[in-house]
Chains A and B, each alone.
Chain A
Amino acid sequence: MNINAADTAWMLVSTAMVLLMTPGLAFFYGGLVRRKNFLSTIMMSFFSLGLIGVLWVVYGYSLAFGTDHGGVIGGFNYVGLIGVGQAPSSVYASTVPHMVFMAYQGMFAVITVALITGAVVERMKFSALIIFSVLWFTLVYTPVAHWVWGAGGWLNKLGALDFAGGTVVHIAAGVSALSLAILLGPRKGFKQDPMEPGNIPMVALGAGILWFGWFGFNGGSALSSGGLAGNAFVATNICAATAALTWMILSWIYRRPSLLGVVTGGVAGLVAITPAAGFIQPIFAIPIGVGVALLCYYMIVVRMRSKIDESLDVWAVHGMGGTWGALATGLFCSLAVNSAGKNGLFYGNPKQVLIQLAGIATVWVFAFGMSWIIGKVVNKLVGLRVSKEEESVGLDISQHGERAYGGPLR
């Protein structure tokens, strides 16, 4: 196939938009912690741009998208980007340069690793986080990406639909976050001392950047610039808007209309539409958005009543939101929207729901178990937590020797 200039232009723009989501996430998380940990929380996300940016081109892309081995993992044929050139791949995105497809997928790996860090803020040792990230990226992200998106991947062959990463990105990150948070234990003073967000305007800024970038995340997953990209683009905005609105109503019913609620709702809506955006009629993003806001809102309530300090609710929003989105894909998907997709329950194919559930359950079990094992190993190697004194002083100073706010203090 020949390179299509319009497709390539859109994929390049989408890649840059998805890149921007990671700093956006960094601000989203950073504003949610106490200000003594503001920088360290931003750092936890931002360093993924460096670390995964390198690992992806060295071997990650190859393990995820290289020649299939038994449906489980890709081969070593693209290690060091050998054979990933300006010509399109013979298998993926046949109208854009292979290296553009590679770069686009790399941004997903970067943000998935960054997403997990919301569970471990304010107490995890930075060196431990780096080792965890390398192992998690290698042993969890690349195989799951291969199962779902790789040519020959077993969930792909089974027919599990995941347009832009509901299972690969959000369920994998959200469930791993829960696993690691349980292993790590709660922050010092959890449920005794007030732990108010340090800077909610930063959270709103971060959420705005995420919403913007998500058009590249979902729209770009069409891997072309035509009608399908438009479908995904529109569905994305409808779902985010619906969920933000629903969440605002929920927070108004219980307390007052909260800004934190609106932005969290927007992000939850974006998560839920991710697997569905290119398989459903955009108007079905409304029920998906209402559903995800209700689900995630009450999941946060459940988490807060538990003893688990999954600090920034990565599990409740991304894990559960991704689960609902992957399931809803099986309800609403239609061949009329995307001929490469399937008909779902409401188009006379109830079996698709079971296939979606198989994908969801597999990734839940695999991500939770592997994160637990990797966490245990890292704990043996360097210890997962900072010392009590370092935690009191804050990770900005104790881990990075910098402060978010200048002057003689802080």
Chain B
Amino acid sequence: MKKIEAIIREEKLEAIKKSLEELGYYGMTITECGGRGRQKGIDLKWGNRDFCVEFLPKIKVEVVVLDEDLSPALHAIVKSARTGETGDGKIFVIPIENAIRIRTGETGENAV
């Protein structure tokens, strides 16, 4: 099991949700968050002065997938989240030790 943490543009959530649904992954957790990347935010001009907007609003999508689904799921997220411009976001993959479905007590891959 792996957890995918994708930090994405706010407006791409719908597209990512649909692409994961196509792979049969309906469960996910989303968090409204903010972040910056290598560019340290966006530089804007106001008159002659520059100012920097550091943390830009993003959405973090967390979804846990089976190992064999990892690659198609990553592919689907990248494909639907990409615009090609800075600020498209980032994806982290984290190994998951165990999962438990609280209602039934099922554990491991059955609980994903």
Contacts and interface: CB of A to CB of B under 8 A. Distances in A.
Q: How large is the interface on A (under 10, 10 to 19, 20 to 34, 35 or more residues)?
A: 10 to 19
A189 B57 contact: no
B92 interface: no
Contacts of B55: 408-409
Given A393-B44, A398-B44, A401-B46, A410 B57 contact: yes
Interface of B: 11, 14, 33-34, 42, 44, 46, 51, 53, 55-57, 87
A386 to B, nearest CB: 9
Nearest to A409: B34
| Residue from B33, B53, B55 having most chain A Cβ neighbours under 10 A | B53
A389 to B, nearest CB: 5
Contacts of B56: 393
- The binding surface of chain A is classed by DSSP as loop
A401 B51 contact: yes
A189 B34 contact: no
- The binding surface of chain B is classed by DSSP as strand
Contacts of A189: 11
A410 B56 CA distance: 8
A384 to B, nearest CB: 17
Interface in A375-410: 387, 389-390, 392-393, 397-398, 401, 408-410
Given A193-B11, A392-B87, A397 B53 contact: yes
A5 B7 CA distance: 65
A192 B14 CA distance: 10
| Residue from B33, B57, B87 having most chain A Cβ neighbours under 10 A | B57
A409 B14 contact: no
A409 B42 contact: no
